[in-house]
Amino acid sequence: MNELKQRFLNYIDQINSGSAHTHAAYERDISDFIAFLKKEGITSFAQADRIIVMNYIADLRMRDGTLGAMKNTSIARKLSSLRSFYRYLNEYVGIQGNPFLYMKGPKLARRIPEFLFYDEMERFLSAFDIEDPVGLSKRTMFELMYACGLRVSEVVSLCISDIDFNDDVLHITGKGDKQRIVPFYELAKELLIRYLHEVREAWVGQKKHTIVFVNQRGDGLTTRGVQYLMQKHADVLGMHVHIHPHMFRHSFATHLLDNGADLRLVQELLGHSSLSTTQIYVHVSQERLKHVYEHAHPRANAHATSV
């Protein structure tokens, strides 16, 4: 069984360009299932049937993790991993049947993404001193993240060749090497041009790389570094909220929908493969409408009285 697991992991490495995170997740999930099968006296993946899988799910539910019982999200991920593993066994090994194929995982509640209201975003971005090189660098990076709905991994890997100043668009390579084109507005363009000429050129010096956003040593930023800079700025402003890079992407999508953008357009700009992934932002917009209503309607906060 361990040999088949390793063959599958090699296969996953090839189709996912060697993603260490994906490899590690599959290895944990399959190894856990192998350990359960061995405990049940089963020595072959072909011997596992729906009853075995149901017993495995029951076993997962009874486990206690460091924070209590195993979460539904963790169970669902394990089942998804093993479903994919059995598809591989069916296609490339010749094992018949997939006991995970029609096995439904626990129902997951859809989390509404955290986002900033426009006035909060404006406060965050406008507080940088763009006459200072460090301030201009940070403002430009965060402005572009919001302007284009970038993932933090996309902003730290952005290269000069990805910027098209003629059409004012970025050429982004997202998850799974999926390509997309995202426009940016005039203010972001002005900041970007200033940053490239006034700051990046001086900081990079003789170094040969083309990464857009760099530190004062001329080296590319890390995702953790961007997270740190973002939270530090929020703390200085006294925003009293945990700000993370993906919040800017959530805000980008929410604000577009709030202002009448078509859902499929937002899907394209975010680089989502499925429209259902983008639809969660419709719920975010509904939350915003409720928030605005409760703060703007003169009777929204009136105490109820008998009629």
How many Cα atoms occupy the beta-carbon half-sphere of 43 within 13 Å?
A: 0
Q: How far apart are the first and last CA of the chain?
A: 71
DSSP letter at 100 equals T
Known active-site residue 295: no
- d(Cα 209, Cα 159) in Å, to the nearest integer? 9
Contacts of 203 (CB under 8 A, 6+ apart): 133, 214, 215, 216, 217, 218
Question: Do the beta carbons of residue 128 and residue 138 sit within 8 Å?
Answer: yes
The answer to whether 149 touches 252, Cβ cutoff 8 Å, is: yes
Given 138, 139, 180, 249, which residue is catalytic?
249
- Tell me the residue type at 303: H
78 counts as catalytic: no
Q: Which of 61, 63, 175, 178 is catalytic?
A: 175
> What DSSP element (H or E) covers 177?
none
From the candidates 123, 171, 246, 283, which is the catalytic residue? 246
What is the rounded CA–CA span in Å between residue 45 and residue 73? 24
Q: Which of 151, 228, 232, 297 is catalytic?
A: 151
Say which of 272, 283, 293, 303 is annotated catalytic.
272
Query: Is-catalytic flag, 272?
Result: yes
User: Has 233 been annotated as catalytic?
Assistant: no
CA angle 28, 32, 34 (to 5 degrees): 120
Active site residues: 151, 175, 246, 249, 272, 281
